A and B are shown apart, each in its own frame.
Chain A
Amino acid sequence: MAEWVTIGSASTVPEGEVMSFGAGSRQVAIANVEGDLHAFDDVCTHQQCSLAEGDLDGTTIECPCHGSQFDVTTGEAVHGPAVDPVDVFQSKVEDDGLKVLVNDE
């Protein structure tokens, strides 16, 4: 069942940065692209590295292990070796809390 989980304050993730948070049973990455927050599964679908440790370029996050690239707005794998997309989640700022809507895996 999906539920809203508070993972930090609204100002936690600086613009142009990506950070990783535990949310329920998931590890969720939050990317701040020009002030818009995008939440996605932090675990690369290729060999399970943390995507939040990679470089964010526009809306593309690059896995630091093997170079897979994902669009943080859709989760789509835009460059291999990963083929499968990562899950994306809704996020919102409420009472200065940063919240994501996650369902358990």
Chain B
Amino acid sequence: MTTFVVVGAGVAGGTAAAKLREEGFDGNVVLIGAEDVAPYERPPLSKEYLRGETSEPLYIRDPGFYEENGIDARFGVRAEHVNITDRVIELEGGERVAFDQAVVATGARNRRPPIEGLDLENVFDLRYLPDSDAIREAAKNGSKAVMVGMGFIGAEVAASLRQLGLDVTVVEFFGTPLERVLGPTIGGAIESLHRDHGVEMIFRDGAERFEGNGRFEAMVTKEGRRIEGDFAVVGVGVEPVTDVATDGLTVDNGIPVDATLKTEAEGVWAIGDVARHDHPVFGPIRVEHFDNGMKMGEHVAKNLLSANAVFDDAHWFWSDQYDAEIQMSGFATEWDDMVVRGSIEDRSFSAFLLKDGQLLSTFSMNRKFDVRRSMPLIATKAHPERAKLEDPEFDLRELHPPKE
């Protein structure tokens, strides 16, 4: 019988395994995950779950789904190598699982910057369920949080901690939140949102060391500030987990895959945060969004069953901060024009990022329709007129390509 093995049980791997069954595959499906829990959604860990508005993880499928659907789920087991020569996955403890086709979905892990005192008690980072539990517990017992990094995770955690009533001070290396990815204009809008909600932000500074007698007491910054608090949260980005790619799999900012999500090794695929995908619109990119993980999981399942289709999703994510609904679609590392629709000052706007007139990415705060309605334009490399982008009344669906 044919055996498909999925290595990694986050949203991408979990979705891939589930989708294989939902598409009718009746061979063996093995799902291997290092976390001792069924696949769950990570986005709530910085939002509803962190704030204690829900006490259960948001599972991508009911935890009983895997057994009920004959999926050999190994949760709490780490895969060590994808052995291409012998076509087996080597697990910790020495077990070997033979595969006909394998999907690498090992995700990403938080960067651990070399900061003195990073191992002190009450210095946290956030990626997994127990991380969120620990920060929530510290927030219950404390009143002052010190944070490093104002990317999306940092911004969401800062917002949630403020909503829980804590004082929050953040140091950020760049000049605004998210400046490196979104530029100073959009970054400035996010800064103003957090300032109005009482977050103290210190820019162009970073953590030099954490101090405390076994337990966090204060952060000393590179510029010499000393910021005391009850606990610290570090959010300075992630790196792809490529440890399993030891034999015959190239690693280059993730595991490179072609447009259909195939690696260079026959019958081995990679999806989610670990995959550096040759996207038909954006070129080779590695994307760390929940939605991308889910969609790549669905897509690879169909391709394992010989659909052989190109993955061309325009990419999309959301980030709720306080009462602001933030969404973004597309992908842009550089742009030569930014068209704003609505009012940045009123926090109801969309920003369209263009290069040579081509729409690459759309960001919105409290104007979410523009973002999703941009996706068919981004996917077809459209060059929309500026006047139409600027007009808040213009419905972008009028520019969509006709349905096949």
Contacts and interface: CB of A to CB of B under 8 A. Distances in A.
Interface string B25-63: 000000000000000010000001000000000101100
Given A55-B397, A64-B368, A80 B294 contact: yes
Given A47-B58, A81-B41, A83-B61, A62 B372 contact: yes
B369 interface: yes
A67 interface: yes
A30 to B, nearest CB: 20
Interface in B372-402: 372-373, 397
B298 interface: yes
A57 to B, nearest CB: 8
A75 B16 CA distance: 23
A81 B372 contact: no
B15 interface: yes
Which of A55, A62, A80 neighbours the largest number of chain B CB atoms within 10 Å of its CB?
Answer: A80
Contacts of A58: 403
A65 interface: yes
Contacts of B61: 83
A80 B60 CA distance: 9
Interface in A60-88: 62, 64-67, 80-81, 83
Chain A facing B: main interface SS = loop
Contacts, number: 28
Interface in A26-44: none
A101 to B, nearest CB: 29
B295 to A, nearest CB: 8
Contacts of B290: 81
Contacts of A64: 368-369, 372
Contacts of B48: 47
Given A66-B318, A81-B41, 10 more contacts: A55-B369, A62-B372, A64-B368, A67-B291, A67-B316, A67-B372, A80-B15, A81-B60, A81-B294, A83-B61
Nearest to A81: B294
Nearest to B58: A47
Q: In which size bucket is the chain A interface?
A: 10 to 19
A65 to B, nearest CB: 7
Contacts of A66: 291, 318
A67 B328 CA distance: 12
A62 B373 CA distance: 11
Contacts of A83: 60-61
A65 B61 CA distance: 19
Contacts of B316: 67
Interface in B105-128: none
B21 to A, nearest CB: 13
Contacts of B298: 80
B372 A55 contact: yes
B182 to A, nearest CB: 21
B373 A55 contact: yes
11 contacts: A55-B369, A55-B372, A62-B372, A64-B372, A65-B318, A65-B325, A67-B291, A80-B15, A80-B294, A80-B298, A81-B290
B326 to A, nearest CB: 12
A47 B320 CA distance: 13
Interface string B249-272: 000000000000000000000000
A47 B41 CA distance: 11
B19 to A, nearest CB: 9
Contacts of A55: 369, 372-373, 397
A17 B31 CA distance: 42
Nearest to A62: B372
A47 B318 CA distance: 13
Contacts of B368: 64
B44 to A, nearest CB: 8
Contacts of B294: 80-81
A42 to B, nearest CB: 17
Interface string B316-340: 1010000001000000000000000
A47 B290 CA distance: 15
Interface string B344-388: 000000000000000000000000110011000000000000000
Contacts of A62: 372
B400 to A, nearest CB: 9
Contacts of B41: 81
Nearest to A58: B403
